[in-house]
Amino acid sequence: MNRSSVIRSRPLRRPALPAAVLLALVLAGCSDPDGGSAHGEPELGEVAVAPATASISLPLDAYTDTDAETVRMGQVQQRLLSRCMARYGFPYEEVMPSGQAGAQGPEGRHRALFGAADAEFAAAHGYDTTAGKGRPVKPPAAPLSESATLVMHGERPGGAQGAAQPPDAASEEEAAQVDSGIDVGGQKVPPGGCIREAYRRLYAPTKDSVDLLFPFGLASEAHERSKGDSRVTEVLKNWSACMEKSGYTGLKDPYEVVQKLGLEADLGGPKAVTAAKADVACKREVNLVGVWAAVEKAYQQRLVEEQAETLALYKKQREARYKLAAGIV
């Protein structure tokens, strides 16, 4: 059943739920001794019970591109690279991302955030997260001439080991003041070559450009903090005990299942499917996804508030990128 039930931490009047779920929800509702300060465990809002991953919404999602947006921006970057190469008289066949838009599917962008979580997918594909996405075969790129390589990468191939690299620039604004020291066909090659120019034009046009991966870094930080949260460690303990009852011993968290069970060679095979089904069932029994998602949301919200000024600038610059992209055909 994909519909998730949402309850508040108090009162808990769901006798049909397993005791482990109730315990996890009680723990999730408790505030820390520091009152949820920046130095303690944050208080939680609502905790969903066994939510579908498609229903999970986190604060930093507002600053993260969807798959379709990522593909579109990749296409624009390739177009900028092609135009740069053309200025020097070199044809460049754009490598357009394909078959990726919408790859998040109905499970949502957080499908694998807590490991296997969808019962239907686990029963069909085990731990093979690439199943159903296809793997388009790309023809090998034509080799570049030495001059084209200089323009593309902004450095001479096969340079002496330890030799100083040509200068680069963090932004297009700074690149205008940097001499790469490389000329091709009477034209100065941009710092870092056309690859770097295409990136800077799209993602770092000015000195105050916020790093493209800034929101990703915050999300990673929130996730790492959540791992040590007492409410998460408690629900992980319950999940581990459930997995042990199913015959899978020594598992501390969902991220080590594949490696510890030796499933790498056949992520979608019978052994993997059996383990994934037990994994998902245990997550539902102890409400791992519901509790952990609530904890993760709280840590993300704290970071969003702490980094509000930088994130506001990032969002403004992101909108400017979309506007630039719309004008590049």
Q: Does a cis peptide bond (omega within 30 degrees of 0) precede residue 42?
A: no
Cα–Cα dist 185/89, whole Å: 9
DSSP count for the chain of H helices, then E strands: 12, 4
Going by C-alpha positions, the residue among 116, 53, 107, 51 that lies closest to residue 261 is: 116
Give residue 165's pLDDT.
76
**Digit-coded pLDDT (tens) for 137-161:** 566 667 889 999 999 999 876 654 5
**Digit-coded pLDDT (tens) for 283-321:** 999 999 999 999 999 999 999 999 999 999 999 999 999
Give residue 294's pLDDT.
98
- Residue 73 parent element (H or E): helix 67-87
> What are the Cα distances from residue 256, in Å, to 52, 127, 234?
22, 12, 17
Q: Is the pTM of this model over 0.85?
A: no
The alpha carbon dihedral of 113, 118, 119, 125 has a sign of negative
Give residue 8's pLDDT.
31
Give residue 193's pLDDT.
97
Contacts for 229 with CB less than 8 Å, ≥ 6 apart: 41, 295, 299
3-state secondary structure 181-240: CCEECCEECCCCHHHHHHHHHHHCCCCCCCCCCHHHHHHHHHHHHHHCCHHHHHHHHHHH
Give residue 93's pLDDT.
85
Q: Which residues of 165-188 are buried (b: 16+ CB within 10 A; e: fewer)?
A: ebebbbbbeebeebebebebeeee
Give residue 22's pLDDT.
40
| Residue that is written with structure tokens 């962008």 in the block | 109
Beta bridge partners of 115: 113
Give residue 138's pLDDT.
62
- Residue 111 parent element (H or E): none
Give residue 109's pLDDT.
86
Give residue 28's pLDDT.
39
Mind listing the pLDDT tens digit of every residue in the chain (329 residues)?
333 333 333 222 333 334 343 433 344 344 444 444 457 999 998 999 999 999 999 999 999 998 889 999 999 999 999 999 999 999 998 876 654 444 454 457 898 999 999 999 999 999 999 887 665 556 666 788 999 999 999 987 665 455 567 889 999 999 999 999 999 999 999 999 999 999 999 999 999 999 999 999 999 999 999 999 999 999 999 999 999 999 999 999 999 999 999 999 999 999 999 999 999 999 999 999 999 999 999 999 999 999 999 999 999 999 999 999 999 87
- Residue 292 parent element (H or E): helix 288-306
Cα–chain center distance at 108: 12
Contact, 267 vs 132, CB < 8 A? no
CA angle 245, 247, 248 (to 5 degrees): 100
CB count within 10 Å of CB 116 equals 24
What is the SS3 assignment for 178?
A: coil
Give residue 143's pLDDT.
82
Contact, 42 vs 36, CB < 8 A? yes
Cα–Cα dist 212/223, whole Å: 19
Cα–Cα dist 224/235, whole Å: 16
